[in-house]
Structure 1
């Protein structure tokens, strides 16, 4: 999972886009890994994926995040439980809020577009969740 998230962070930072090249294989790897753990594990992964879609679709529709970010969360969710997925989503938005405060202050006088590369908070939150810190 961390390989796919790291690749998405790289392309998000340098190309302002999360490519399906990182998302789709990551999602498939998560589903296959869950399937190897048995039917219960597969159902848990599918439930976590669906949960992330249901939670994040309204955020996407109101232009809070981009479609690539939703797909990236679904990829991360394929490796996590629903509870971990929910924690990852909440933590990602908190981290993004902290990053946005720094961006506002650093680019205060600039007329440049102020954006957050949301793949970064997703990766950081996944590291915290998978690492068992939170």
Structure 2
């Protein structure tokens, strides 16, 4: 059975629902992600080569977790975003989830810049960035970590959805 169109359709529905939830409530429901993960596993099991499909999906999950986990640990990203990227990986493969992550970083960067400019916090954002980069550039000893004022956050589920949709459009264009 050819399952790729079904995987892509379910993935599209999943990222759309996650982005809408993230925009409205700033949360990505675990039930949504678990349902998506279960759907991906079932579809992989129905594929022509279930062993290969399940291994690719598992590799995608691990890659998605490993790519975004450092950002979560540095408190730059919420756990739901990490879980969403892992779930997206279950539908794709390690290579695809890496491409989606890069696309999401690009979309997230544009979103973050727009939010910073809209809120008039560009000067604070640049000061925070300089505080992070300065010790490395000037080869200074690492300064003790000080809490910096946040310039705001973005619903990163939207950025992940944008990267995923861009990849899926590329498959069918």
- Say yes or no: TM over 0.5: yes
**2:56 equivalent to 1:18:** no
SS of residue in 1 equivalent to 2:34:
helix
SS of residue in 1 equivalent to 2:71:
helix
Q: Comparing 28-37 with 90-99, which one deviates more in the overlay?
A: 28-37
**2:154 equivalent to 1:116:** yes
1:33 pairs with one of 24, 40, 43: 43
Q: Which runs of 4+ in 1 moved over 4 A?
A: none
Q: What is the TM-score with the length of structure 2 in the denominator? A: 0.71
1:1-134 matches, within 5 Å, as: 1-37=11-47, 38-108=50-120, 114-132=152-170
Kept in 2, the 8 Å contact 1:5–1:22? The answer is no
How far, CA to CA, are the matches of 1:56 and 1:16 in structure 2? 18
Root-mean-square deviation (CA), in Å? 1.8
Name structure 1 gaps, 5 residues minimum.
Answer: none
Residue 35 of structure 1: CA displacement?
A: 1.8
2:137 corresponding residue in structure 1: none
SS of residue in 2 equivalent to 1:132:
helix
Cα deviation, 1:51-78, whole Å, max 9, x if unaligned, reads 1112221111111211100111111111
Name structure 2 gaps, 5 residues minimum.
Answer: 1-10, 122-149
SS of residue in 2 equivalent to 1:64:
coil
Name which one, 1 or 2, has greater alpha-carbon Rg.
Answer: 2
How far, CA to CA, are the matches of 1:123 and 1:78 in structure 2? 15
How many residue pairs end up in the alignment?
132
Kept in 2, the 8 Å contact 1:31–1:46? The answer is no
